[in-house]
C-alpha cells in the first residue's frame, strides 16, 4: 500500500499525556529529537504517530499494522475513533490516485462571511506593488484588523502565495490605518477568486531542494531586508517563509547570505526529521540562490574583511558545505521561486512564480467560486 494512504484520526478521551507518551515508548516507539509531538515505530512495521493535544494522527505504509496499533492503544486508553483523516485543525484532506490534497476552503469561506466580504470581486494579486506606509487616518476598531490578520496567518498553512502579503500587514498591528485595512481587504479579494485552492502532494523524486532569496533594505521604515525561502521534497512544496530580518544588512551580499543561513537551518531540521523516520537522502540537498557574491562566499575558504559582520552565518553554511550536507548553487533571478516571498510582484511575475508552488484546485468541489478575477 502506498505511503500515507493509511491515515487515521483518533481522539484521546482522558487527560494524562505523560502516561500516553510513556505508553508509546513501551510499545516500541521512538520520540523524535526534532519534533516532540512525533513518534515513530520501525519494527515490525513502520507506524508514525503525530500528537496534537488530544488529537492523534496515525499513518504508515500498511493499513493493517496501523489498525493493530489502534486496537492495542484502545486497550490502554479510551479512544474515540474519528475514522480516516478528512479534516484536521481546519485542514481539509482529500486522497486520490494522483496524491494528497490539502486545503482550507471552508476556513476561507467562513472568513469571507465573517468579514462580510463573501460578495466581493476577486483580484489577481494579494498585494499592490505600492509599499504600505504610516500615512492616512487610524482605524477606529484596530481589534477587528488584528483578528482578521491573525486568521489570515493561519490560512498561510496551505496558501504560500499569500505569505508575503500577510507578513506585510502583520507589521502594522500596533497602529493600523485605513490603508492597511484596505490591503487586508485586497488579500481577501484575492482569496475569493481561489478559495478552495490548496497544496498537492504527489509522487515524484525524493530530492530535497530549496530556493533562497532576500530583498535588500526593502522596508522603507527601518531598511531591514526580507528573507524568503521555498523548500521542495521532490515536486512538492513542504516548507516556506517570508520574514523580515532581525538586523539591518550593510550589503546585498549580507542580506542574501543571512537568508541562506535561514534556509540552511530549515533544511537541517527537515533532514533530522527524515533521519528520525529512517529515510536516508540519496542526494545532497541543494540550495538555489541568485546572488553570485553570496555563493562565492559560501565556497571560498578565505574570509574577507568586508564581510566580517556576517561571520556567524558564514561559518554555519561553510561547515555544512564542507561536510557535504548542503550544496549552494546559482539560479537566475528569473527562475528564483523564493522571489514571491520577498516583495510585492506585478501580475505576470506573480502568476509565473505562483504556478511553481504546488498549488492547485481540488479533485472535486462542493462549492462553486463566483466571480472573475480583476486586476
State the angle between helix axes of 178-192 and 163-170 in degrees (0 to 180), rounded to the nearest 10.
160
pLDDT of residue 303: 53
Kindly tell me the number of DSSP H helices and DSSP E strands found in the chain. 10, 16
Question: How do the domains of the chain map onto residue ranges?
Answer: 6-85, 104-197, 204-343
Query: Quick one: how far is CA 46 from the chain centroid?
Result: 26
pLDDT of residue 322: 84
- pLDDT by residue (tens digit) across 321-349? 888 899 999 999 999 999 999 999 999 99
- pLDDT by residue (tens digit) across 121-138? 999 999 999 999 988 999
Cα 263 from Cα 166, distance rounded (Å): 20
* CATH fold of the domain at 204-343: Nucleotidyltransferase; domain 5 (3.30.420)
pLDDT of residue 301: 56
> Which position has the grid cell 521604515?
221
Alpha helix ranges (H) inside the chain: 17-26, 63-74, 105-114, 142-155, 163-170, 178-192, 252-276, 292-299, 311-322, 347-354
CA distances from 245 to 95, 221, 299, 306, 374 (A): 38, 13, 23, 20, 33
| Residue of 238, 85, 213, 99 whose CA lies nearest to 160 | 238
> What residues in the chain have per-residue pLDDT under 50?
1-5, 305, 366-375
Please state which CATH number belongs to domain 6-85.
3.90.930
Cα 257 from Cα 298, distance rounded (Å): 8
Q: Per-residue DSSP letters for 332-346?
A: -GGG-GGGGGTS---
State the angle between helix axes of 163-170 and 142-155 in degrees (0 to 180), rounded to the nearest 10.
150
Amino acid at each position: 500500500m502506498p505511503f500515507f494512504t493509511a491515515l487515521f484520526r483518533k481522539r484521546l478521551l482522558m487527560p494524562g499525556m505523560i502516561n500516553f507518551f510513556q505508553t508509546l515508548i513501551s510499545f516500541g516507539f521512538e520520540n523524535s529529537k526534532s519534533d516532540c509531538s512525533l513518534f515513530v515505530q520501525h519494527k515490525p512495521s513502520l507506524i508514525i504517530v503525530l500528537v496534537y493535544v488530544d488529537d492523534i494522527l496515525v499513518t504508515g505504509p500498511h493499513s493493517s499494522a496501523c489498525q493493530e496499533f489502534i486496537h492495542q492503544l484502545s486497550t490502554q486508553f479510551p479512544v474515540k475513533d474519528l475514522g480516516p483523516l478528512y479534516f484536521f485543525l481546519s485542514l481539509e484532506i482529500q486522497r486520490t490516485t494522483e496524491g494528497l490534497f490539502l486545503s482550507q476552503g471552508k476556513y476561507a469561506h467562513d472568513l469571507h462571511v465573517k468579514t462580510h466580504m463573501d460578495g466581493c470581486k476577486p483580484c489577481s494579486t494579494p498585494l499592490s506593488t505600492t509599499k504600505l506606509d504610516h500615512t492616512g487616518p487610524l482605524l477606529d476598531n484596530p481589534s477587528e484588523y488584528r483578528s482578521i490578520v491573525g486568521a489570515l496567518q493561519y490560512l498561510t498553512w496551505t496558501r504560500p502565495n499569500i505569505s508575503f502579503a500577510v507578513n506585510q500587514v502583520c507589521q502594522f498591528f500596533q497602529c493600523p490605518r485605513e490603508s492597511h485595512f484596505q490591503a487586508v481587504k485586497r488579500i481577501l479579494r484575492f482569496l475569493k477568486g481561489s478559495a478552495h485552492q490548496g497544496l498537492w502532494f504527489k509522487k515524484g523524486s525524493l530530492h530535497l531542494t530549496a530556493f533562497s532569496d532576500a530583498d535588500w533594505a526593502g522596508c522603507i521604515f527601518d531598511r531591514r531586508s526580507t528573507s524568503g525561502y521555498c523548500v521542495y521534497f521532490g515536486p512538492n512544496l513542504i516548507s516556506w517563509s517570508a520574514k523580515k530580518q532581525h538586523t539591518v544588512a550593510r550589503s546585498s551580499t549580507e542580506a542574501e547570505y543571512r537568508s541562506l543561513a535561514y534556509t540552511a537551518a530549515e533544511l537541517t531540521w527537515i533532514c533530522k526529521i527524515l533521519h528520525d523516520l529512517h529515510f536516508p537522502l540519496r542526494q545532497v540537498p541543494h540550495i538555489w540562490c541568485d546572488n553570485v557574491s553570496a555563493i562565492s562566499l559560501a565556497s571560498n575558504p578565505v574570509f574577507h574583511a568586508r564581510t566580517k559582520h556576517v561571520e556567524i552565518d558564514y561559518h554555519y553554511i561553510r561547515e555544512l558545505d564542507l561536510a557535504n550536507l548542503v550544496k549552494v548553487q546559482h539560479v537566475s533571478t528569473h527562475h528564483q521561486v523564493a522571489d514571491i516571498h520577498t516583495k510585492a510582484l506585478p501580475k505576470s511575475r506573480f502568476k509565473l512564480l505562483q504556478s511553481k508552488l504546488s498549488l492547485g484546485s481540488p479533485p472535486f468541489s462542493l462549492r462553486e467560486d463566483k466571480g472573475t478575477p480583476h486586476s
